[in-house]
Chain A
Amino acid sequence: MLTELSLNILDVANNSIRAGANLIVIQVSIHTREDILTIKIIDNGHGMTKEQLSQVEDPFFTTRTTRDVGLGIPFLKQAALITGGTFSIKSKPNVETLVYASFGLSHIDRMPLGDINSTIYTLVLANQEIDFLYVFQCDDKEFQLDTRSLKDILGDISFDTPEVAEFIRDYLNDNYNETAGGCNF
């Protein structure tokens, strides 16, 4: 069981990584007036065929050969549906795969978002060959982290150089606080 939405996001993004994506877009949006939280994860990996797509929400379906059950997607789907939300996956093989989940923001069963900054930091630092675009929105405020912009500035300097890693951590934390501050959820 994954106890935070941010852990579910980490899990779904890892499917994208395994699908050979080199660009992963992660968008978390909170709209307090509409009382909704949405998560979108889009990647350009090899995607899924219609047949795989129809099976992917089944816990006893997995593409892995190392074990027989795949719980990631069913976890997220269930977490969304119990809050009166929705869940969908769409895929165009080798073009784009989109995972979308919406949640009733104030629903008692909605999992906390949790440490989303650690999820993004972990993905960015441990997969430097992949580009990430992360967008966090809360009502009228938003910020984004685009690793392509970071690479433009840094050239050959690695993200795990201490000064750079610290910058990324602070960038995520400070802008999250600035964006989420005053937006009650």
Chain B
Amino acid sequence: MIIIMKQLEAVISSQTVNLYLIIGGKQMKSLEELKAIRESMQAQMGLRNEDTNQTRIVVGMATCGIASGARPVLMELSKIVQEKGLSKVMVTQTGCIGLCQYEPIVEVIEPGKEKVTYIKMTPEKAKEIVDQHIIRGQIVSKYTISEDIG
């Protein structure tokens, strides 16, 4: 049985080049679809550009951040930025910033501006930050660290 599967896989892989997994008669999602996406996007924007014009949204992802809910915050940020087509905005992550009690922490770093640190983030608050700060350019001061300390 295993030998037959191996032969089958060999035939398939020689035909499709890519990771095609056929198991138990069912076919899994393969990378072929990604090739089609790639073709349709040829000559389009969306290049991995690290230009200086880029705004970075950075989520703290050390143990403290993860334990307080950073993963859903990052998932939400990534989702909204894609939905709104904000191609100049990059969502990325960092380690522990040293303010564990304020996690999840999100930093917004815009070119030529001072970094803004948002604390105790939730997916809902993160959405507000994209709408208000990233799109409209208005800092949401009620969630910033200076508001909490001051």
List residues of chain A with CB under 8 Å of any chain B CB: 1-2, 7, 10-11, 14, 17-18, 64, 66-67, 70-72, 75, 115, 118-119, 121-122, 125-128, 140-144, 146, 149-150, 153-158, 160-167, 170-171, 174-175, 178-179, 182
Whether A178 and B71, one on each chain, are in contact in the complex, defined by CB atoms closer than 8 angstroms, is no
1/0 contact string of B45-79 vs chain A (CB within 8 Å) = 01111000000000101111011000110110010
**Residue on A nearest B79 in the bound complex, by CB:** A165
Whether B28 and A174, one on each chain, are in contact in the complex, defined by CB atoms closer than 8 angstroms, is yes
1/0 contact string of B89-100 vs chain A (CB within 8 Å) = 011110111101
Whether B38 and A66, one on each chain, are in contact in the complex, defined by CB atoms closer than 8 angstroms, is no
**B85 contacts the other chain (Cβ, under 8 Å)?**
yes
Which among A146, A153, A160, A178 is the interface contact of B35 at CB below 8 angstroms? A153
List residues of chain B with CB under 8 Å of any chain A CB: 18-19, 21, 23-24, 26, 28-29, 31, 33-35, 37-38, 40-41, 46-49, 59, 61-64, 66-67, 71-72, 74-75, 78, 81-83, 85, 90-93, 95-98, 100
How far, in angstroms, from A142 to B31 measured CA to CA in the complex?
15
Whether B71 and A158, one on each chain, are in contact in the complex, defined by CB atoms closer than 8 angstroms, is no
**Residue on A nearest B24 in the bound complex, by CB:** A141
Indicate whether A10 sits within 8 Å of B61 (C-beta atoms), given known contacts A67-B98, A126-B93, A165-B82. Answer: yes
How far, in angstroms, from A130 to B38 measured CA to CA in the complex?
21
**Residue on A nearest B92 in the bound complex, by CB:** A126
**Residue on B nearest A178 in the bound complex, by CB:** B28
What does DSSP make chain B's interface, helix, strand, loop or mixed? mixed
What does DSSP make chain A's interface, helix, strand, loop or mixed? helix
Indicate whether A122 sits within 8 Å of B96 (C-beta atoms), given known contacts A164-B34, A167-B34, A175-B29. Answer: no
Which residues of B sit under 8 angstroms from A165, Cβ to Cβ?
78, 82
Which among A128, A170, A174 is the interface contact of B48 at CB below 8 angstroms? A128
Whether A160 and B100, one on each chain, are in contact in the complex, defined by CB atoms closer than 8 angstroms, is no
Indicate whether A163 sits within 8 Å of B37 (C-beta atoms), given known contacts A2-B63, A141-B23, A144-B19. Answer: yes
Indicate whether A150 sits within 8 Å of B26 (C-beta atoms), given known contacts A125-B78, A126-B92. Answer: no
Whether B48 and A156, one on each chain, are in contact in the complex, defined by CB atoms closer than 8 angstroms, is yes
Which among A2, A122, A150 is the interface contact of B67 at CB below 8 angstroms? A2
- Interface pairs (27), CB distance under 8 Å: A7-B71, A18-B95, A72-B62, A72-B63, A121-B75, A125-B91, A126-B59, A126-B78, A126-B91, A140-B24, A153-B38, A154-B38, A156-B47, A157-B38, A157-B48, A158-B47, A158-B49, A160-B81, A162-B85, A163-B41, A164-B37, A167-B34, A167-B37, A170-B29, A171-B34, A175-B21, A178-B23
